[in-house]
A and B are shown apart, each in its own frame.
Chain A
Amino acid sequence: MINKKARIAGVPYVIWMVVFIVAPLCMVAWYAFTDKSGQFTIDNISSIGQYAPVFARSIWLALIATVICLLLAFPLSYLISRMSGARQSLMIMLIMLPMWMNFLLRTYAWMTLLENNGLINRFLGLFGLGPFQMINTQGAVVLGMVYNYLPFMILPLYSIMTKIDDSIINAAKDLGANMWQVTWRVIIPLAMPGITTGITMVFVPSISTFIISRMLGGGGNILIGDLIEMQFLGNTYNPHLGSAMALVLMVIVLLCMSIANQFDDEEMEGMLL
């Protein structure tokens, strides 16, 4: 297959890639470091400091959502990976099914449930509880993230856990390890590549979302994504500031991924599922 003519086949894509992937990213960097007249400036980057609370909130909420996803998904993935073959594929299909619905519809579903006179409050009302303020809170935003991205955590965890041989777990048990010791010293180390993949796959979309926060968080809980969107399509049109924010978001994501990469180097394979 190594022949020089075959390289020509790659040329159209390389051109496409340079024009539509590389050039746009260079433009983001260019806009981030220039002002309206095209002069070099670092004002855009330094003025991001004003928005520090929004950045902190985004990182914080995305972290909470990631941790909850991990805690929910870990036992479930393990249980599924120990089921019989036919049940495993049924379970995985059931987990993937909601993923195929557009995330706007899934988030919309929670809007109706969490409303002040929504079904959950009505249900609690039967027991004389509430009504609770649930929509337009940070909790609702985290819930939306967890609901939307939980399958992203389950699938990589599951696919790594199916590779863990039952006999290894039995051996640990025979040697006197209790359930916690088996989990901490056998399953978690073996499942580490899946854990890091899951963490990045939940954290990255959570930190950069802008619809979930708008639909479930109201106006008071805007995230980085909302800020960026407002600079490009909203009424505070300022693509220079928006680009600077996008650049910072990219750096945060890259940092997060390189931290996750410290623990394993198989990430890309899992990323594709």
Chain B
Amino acid sequence: MIEKRMNKTARAYTTLVFIFLYLPIAVLILFSFNQSKSRNVFTGFTLDWYKQLFHNEMIIKALGVTLLVAAVSSIIATILGTAAAVGIRSMHKFSRTIIMNCTYTPVVNPEIVTGVSMLLLFVAMRTAFAAFGLEFEMGLGTLIIAHITFNVPYVILSVSPKLRQMDKNLYEAALDLGCSPVQAFFKVVIPEIMPGITTGFLMALTYSIDDFVISYFTSGTAQTLPIAVYSMTRRKVSPEINALSAILFVVVLSILLIMNYRDIRGEKQLAKERRI
């Protein structure tokens, strides 16, 4: 009896938290189909805001910048970070500790501190470059540098455990069998740590697409999607934001569903293999 009542309370509680999490998003999506500009009264169904969104040059351009910055910065961060993880692993304990502590800094520091610190650096660089008659403006370049900087730690932190778990003898066996160190690295070490590299890359990509605070301080004239959204929420109310949220929600939902589906399928496969 008590168990049953407990179960009911538990279910009700779980439902309430999920309503809290999803109600605002549901309302946001609902009003993307609203005919009038009102955020509160639903007057009729329309897809006009979606049409307007696709003709909004600021948004389209910002989307392009976001994807470009995310792709470039996460690829560079993955290469830099993987190399760093390998290098750090073969260092002495003392220098390793120092480097790892510095690597943790952007992860644990408030984003706003990372943002303003890089802003200070870029302003100083502009002054320094001007002294040599060179031009240095904040924009796409500084945005990519900033994104690489906050992405590399995530790559290192996801590759390092894989390196630690790797069987050291594999690398030496490859050398014994006649591989050069470089060959052994690319043919043995890289495939072994690939899951960590992929995780790091995906984390970098998502953090980069989602970032607002650090981009806000380092973007200069360039505008990423989150920055465009911010300027839209400040200026005037427009259901285009709702339409954009709806599209993003569907994209994210389908990515997660596909990933989850693959997970489940993978688990089934594993279970089958184990039975065999």
The chain A residues found within 8 Å of chain B, CB to CB, are 1-14, 16-17, 20-25, 27-28, 31, 72, 75-76, 79-80, 86, 89-91, 93-98, 100-106, 108-113, 115, 117-119, 122, 147, 150, 200, 204-205, 207-208, 210-211, 215, 225, 228-229, 232-233, 239, 242-243, 246, 249-250, 253, 257, 268, 271-272
Contacts and interface: CB of A to CB of B under 8 A. Distances in A.
A9 B87 contact: yes
A257 B104 CA distance: 13
**SS class of chain B's interface: helix, strand, loop or mixed?**
helix
Interface stretch (B44-52, B106-114, B127-135): B106-114
Contacts of A105: 28, 229, 241, 244-245, 248
A112 to B, nearest CB: 4
Given A12-B84, A16-B148, A104-B226, 12 more contacts: A1-B171, A1-B189, A2-B90, A3-B90, A7-B91, A10-B91, A10-B99, A14-B87, A21-B102, A28-B117, A97-B252, A268-B157
20 contacts: A1-B171, A1-B189, A6-B86, A9-B83, A12-B83, A20-B121, A20-B148, A24-B120, A28-B120, A89-B264, A98-B21, A100-B252, A103-B212, A104-B229, A109-B28, A112-B31, A122-B40, A249-B112, A250-B109, A271-B108
A28 B86 contact: no
**SS class of chain A's interface: helix, strand, loop or mixed?**
helix
B110 A204 contact: yes
A93 B260 contact: yes
Contacts of A8: 87
Q: Which of A23, A102, A204 has the most CB of B within 10 A?
A: A102
B217 interface: yes
Nearest to B100: A268
Interface of B: 10, 13-14, 17-18, 20-25, 27-28, 31, 39-40, 80-81, 83-84, 86-91, 99, 102-114, 116-121, 123-124, 145-146, 148-149, 152, 154, 156-158, 163, 166, 168, 171, 181, 189, 206, 210, 212-213, 216-217, 225-226, 229-230, 233, 241, 244-245, 248-249, 252-253, 256, 260, 263-264
